[in-house]
Amino acid sequence: MRVTLSLRGEKKEVEFSGRTLGDLLSSQGINPEEYVFSRNGELILADEPLHDGDEIKLVPVVSGG
Amino acid sequence: MKCSKCGAKAVAWLPASNAAYCKKHFNYYYERKVKRLLPKMLDQKKDVVGVGVSGGKDSLVMLWLLHKNRFNVVPILVDEGIKGYRDKTIPYAEKLCRELGLELHKVSFREEYGKTLDEMVKEGGRNACSYCGVFRRDLLNKTARRLGCTKLAIGHNLDDEVQSVLMNFFRGELERIARGGPVTGIIEDPKFVPRVKPLRMCSEKENVIYALINGIEYSDIECPYATTAYRGVVRDAVNMIESRYPGTKISILRTSDRLVEILRRELKPEGGLRYCSECGEPSAEKVCKACQFRNEIF
């Protein structure tokens, strides 16, 4: 499946084998504790099924000083 | 995943509570947690609450919640002078204050001390966090006092609190641990505006989720000096333990709060708080840290 990851305005297309957000995160080595995830403005959790062409926004948990 | 309360689609999974929440029930869970703490820190009828805001998620969520709960709030923004960082976060604080109909009181290191933090770091021998911590605390206290505030609310979250406790513990700084807790300071003094931390039981992640759910826009950039801080090492270690043993952070904070009570009885200085011999501000030493740093740089 191909999806787009978006972080602080930068976008990257990635391909992974799997079905859910959790599968995507594992495949990309992304720690789910470090981000909150959204799709089309809605927050999603690790068990959320993804679809080809989805854009997933990563919102960093750590920011500021 | 379904909401543990109503079965609707969940937007937050909280391992420490072993619960998942939809938007409505996350808001309920989060606001209830903060509302339970507020009466222990603030008097809604009497207190004028200075609110330290930066444009980041924690301070803006705090301002939003205090305003929502009808506290008399006075937002204060300290511009340290960090190019490419603070200038980008300030507009978010200005926007929320405009939306809430509040006047934002802006003060800066340059106006108060004659130099920006960037200049201090360049010319002085210390790291940025040392200067920033001391001067921010000094300037927030002075400004809150000048504006007639009876309390000063700062947006420290659960992660900040736990990191501070452990850093002080690792460095053997018992006096600093004693100054912590829900309301800071060991003794009362008219020159010192007591600091409260309404979000101290809320994790950084919960604050992000609350901001996103409620449409509170904030700056998500990181301070360029944060990467050099010891705090980052402690943060990573605590997060690793929390991910394996959920609830560790809350447990550390609760233990620390009990320790604070014991330490305050033991360490209470006799004869009241001292005043800096140079600037007259409250100080734990003969010359306060802000004056010590100023003497080094200027």
What is the chain A residue with the closest CA to B203?
Answer: A61
The confidence score (pLDDT) of residue B230 equals 82
Q: Is residue B27 part of a domain?
A: no
CATH number of the domain at A34, please.
3.10.20.30
Is residue A65 a part of any domain in this protein? Answer: no
* pLDDT higher than threshold 90 for residue A33: no
Q: Is A63–B220 a contact, with Cβ atoms under 8 angstroms apart? A: yes
Residue span of the structural domain in which A25 resides:
2-60
Residue B164, C-beta contacts closer than 8 angstroms, at least 6 positions apart: B156, B176, B180
Residue A39 resides in a domain: yes
Q: Which of A10, A39, A43 would you mutate first to test chain B, the one with the most B CBs within 10 A?
A: A43
Q: pLDDT (tens digit, 9 = 90+) per residue, B186-206?
A: 567 889 999 999 999 999 999
Of B209, B220, B242, the CB nearest to A43: B209
ipTM: 0.94
Q: Note whether residue A8 is domain-resident.
A: yes
Residue B279 lies in a domain: no
Residue-range definition of the domain harbouring residue B242: 44-273
Per-residue HEC secondary structure of chain B comes to CECCCCCCECCEEECCCCEEECHHHHHHHHHHHHHHHHHHHCCCCCCEEEEEECCCHHHHHHHHHHHHCCCEEEEEEEECCCCCCHHHHHHHHHHHHHHHCCCCEEEEHHHHHCCCHHHHHHHCCCCHHHHHHHHHHHHHHHHHHHCCCCEEECCCCHHHHHHHHHHHHHCCCHHHHHCCCCECCCCCCCCCCCEECCCCCCCHHHHHHHHHHCCCCCCCCECCCHHHCHHHHHHHHHHHHHHHCCCHHHHHHHHHHHHHHHHHHHHCCCCCCEECCCCCCEECCCCCHHHHHHHHHC
Measured between alpha carbons, how far is residue B82 from residues A63, B50, B75, B116, B129 in Å?
15, 23, 20, 7, 12
Residue A21: enclosing H or E segment and its boundaries?
A: helix A21-28
Q: Is residue A21 part of a domain?
A: yes
Residue of B nearest to A58 (CA): B220
CA distances from B29 to B17, B201, B206, B222 (A): 11, 12, 10, 28
State the nearest Cα–Cα gap between A47 and chain B, in angstroms. 7
Domain-located, residue B132: yes
A36 touching chain B per CB within 8 A? yes
Query: Number of structural domains, chain B?
Result: 1
Residue B4 within a domain:
no
Lowest mean pLDDT among A22-26, A50-54, B176-180, B247-251: B176-180
Residue A51: helix, strand or coil by DSSP? coil
**What pLDDT score does A31 carry?**
87
Per the structure, how many domains does chain A have?
1
The CATH number that applies at residue B123 is 3.40.50.620
Interface test with A, best of B13, B208, B240 (most A CBs within 10 A): B208
The low-confidence residues of chain B, meaning pLDDT below 50, are none
> Half-sphere exposure (CA, 13 Å, Cβ side) for B50?
25
Give residue B45's pLDDT.
94
Which of A45, A59, A65 is the closest to B1 by Cβ? A45
Distance between A55 CA and the closest CA of chain B, angstroms: 17
CB contact under 8 A, B221 and A44: no
Give residue B180's pLDDT. 83
Q: Which residue of B has its CA nearest to A62?
A: B204
The whole-angstrom distance between B149's CA and the closest CA on chain A is 25
For B205, which of A8, A46, A61 is closest by C-beta distance? A61
pLDDT digit string, tens, across residues B17-56? 999 999 999 999 999 999 999 999 999 999 999 999 999 9
